[in-house]
Structure 1
């Protein structure tokens, strides 16, 4: 029960009937699949709070992909201030219309967003006051049509404003790859068995999570080396297969070291 003071149980569980649960936020590289940043907090922490702690790990010219939870005025400004760009799905609270903004292509336009009148929850007053009165973003919308299913409309918001350099279709294809983060998290929790941690103190659980990420990045490094050596896309290789091969070769590595 050492963890209950730091990572409480879900409110639906009775005390000692279940496990304390932590929540993690991770940035994965779309090129290598490796984890590049991590933060850990309690279960009820909103995703946007975790994301704001991860922005400091971004490097200039990085492009951050995210779902609609991160598509906020303050966050888009914070990302561009770091010299980075973003591609987010548009938040459902914002309406989509082609009557406003500058049309730059089919289903593609530049729009002006204005600073919220009230300070959003989770944002300090100092940071809110530092926000500009308006920002320009690019809005792209398209439809997903699957026979026998309801047609789904998707609206994207991006800071990649130059349509010549960043064509509409390329932005749509880029966002389509965002779902790979779900597979990366599944690899961490399922393939590497990180869904249930063994340590019982906050400091040790943090160390345990970091060790899992080290092991995950080791596998991604091996996949990258193998893929680039044999002209195969590294992300097409199996992480589970790489893990099995590494385990089978460990005795040989140990024998060579001795």
Structure 2
């Protein structure tokens, strides 16, 4: 359902609305209340920053990366009228602590579930294509963050910055995040990926990186629901037995599970069937392993082309870290609970932008939302929130339609099929001048 499908009815008779009413029109109040109930938070007395205002302030932390948190609340004008025009910095800190992390996390999860069920996405062989991958975030250098999240270690000692590991599930055609889990850096991506299993929708294909090869995890993923398939590159040392050959480059194989895996994952059988497909690109042979053993439903030509979509999740991470956070690697918050709250706010802000981009192309099947510039769309959305003053909020449907028209203009250039960037190790820069050869000195 589009974000503003009921605006005409909502604002047709509105006369006295403020900025928080404008922002609340993008989020279902019942959804927010459900998130508060699940997290066990509630506002007993009337405050200048009610829970809804705090949620939008946390979202604004990722949209206005250079501004202090208290200034974000004042910029969005989400506080209720009081003696002072502006909100004090201490009030914002107390409001964030009162809200906690779980409430923002539930808001993100509930909105992601609803968005996936209401928007139409591109499909491949009748399946929604998803991708799973991990990313690291750096937290403030405090003792609490260091004890909770841990840090990287090198030959000279510890890296002073704590690190948070995140693993996300993304719909590749729209870059919409369906679920995300994060923990300390000592918790591996495989463990975080297991926590994503309950969020896997039916009739989907999930693309994994090579490092996620675990027969226990893949079997858990495949048996979670109806037609929940997986695909990942095959390891060079993969041990298998060919069950039957589909073609010269395609076969159904049998994989043997280990006793340790069967002990860790209950219900894991001794063997699993999978499909091993090989193909050649520029003279180099690649192999992918998948659960799609039905060659009639999933033809060879289709299977060899789908895995390239896994890189879409890398673009999504870049949009969050480079565009939204403006390449500022360190998060703002100094306490672990607030760090997690800030990350949930980042994911929520990212999905809200993606949902508006989906709204912009909903009547244009020839235009994919991933072909719109995320950075330019984000700037227009921010201007929309700041320029639509409360006195004109009754005309919000008109303003929103103008925003949709402007977003559709932010198209990216067509991809060049002949452009190829092979992966390589970048040379480490040095602060010392390079010594010249003897021949150059003469």
**TM bin (shorter chain):** 0.7 to 0.9
Is the CA contact (8 Å cut-off) linking 2:257 and 2:269 kept in structure 1? yes
Partner of 2:265: 127
For residues 25-64 of structure 1, the aligned pairs below 5 Å read 25-64=167-206
Partner of 1:250: 385
Partner of 1:108: 250
Cα distance change, pair 222–106 in 1 and its aligned pair in 2 (3 A): farther
SS state at 1:6 partner = helix
* TM-score normalised per structure 1: 0.87
For residues 230 and 133 of structure 1, the distance between their equivalents in structure 2, rounded to whole angstroms, comes to: 48
1:138 aligns with 2:275: yes
Q: After the TM superposition, which parts of structure 1 deviate over 6 Å for at least 4 consecutive aligned residues?
A: none
1:86 aligns with 2:230: yes
What displacement does 1:228 show?
2.0
1:221 aligns with 2:355: yes
For residues 178 and 251 of structure 1, the distance between their equivalents in structure 2, rounded to whole angstroms, comes to: 35
What displacement does 1:72 show?
2.0
- State the Cα deviation string for residues 34-54 of structure 1 (Å, max 9, x = none): 111111112233221221111
Identify unmatched segments of 5+ residues in structure 1: 146-150
What displacement does 1:126 show?
5.0
Is the CA contact (8 Å cut-off) linking 2:166 and 2:180 kept in structure 1? yes
- State the Cα deviation string for residues 58-99 of structure 1 (Å, max 9, x = none): 122221111111222112211121121101111333158xx8
SS state at 1:19 partner = strand
For residues 146-165 of structure 1, the aligned pairs below 5 Å read 151-165=283-297
For residues 157 and 114 of structure 1, the distance between their equivalents in structure 2, rounded to whole angstroms, comes to: 14
SS state at 1:207 partner = helix
Is the CA contact (8 Å cut-off) linking 1:69 and 1:91 kept in structure 2? no
Q: Which stretch of structure 1 is more off in the superposition, 100-109 or 161-170?
A: 100-109
1:166 aligns with 2:298: yes
Within the candidate set 154, 171, 196, 2:330 is matched to: 196
SS state at 1:228 partner = coil
SS state at 1:195 partner = coil
Is the CA contact (8 Å cut-off) linking 2:150 and 2:186 kept in structure 1? no
For residues 205 and 81 of structure 1, the distance between their equivalents in structure 2, rounded to whole angstroms, comes to: 34
**Larger relative contact order (CA 8 Å, sep ≥ 6):** 2
For residues 146 and 297 of structure 2, the distance between their equivalents in structure 1, rounded to whole angstroms, comes to: 51
For residues 186 and 109 of structure 1, the distance between their equivalents in structure 2, rounded to whole angstroms, comes to: 36
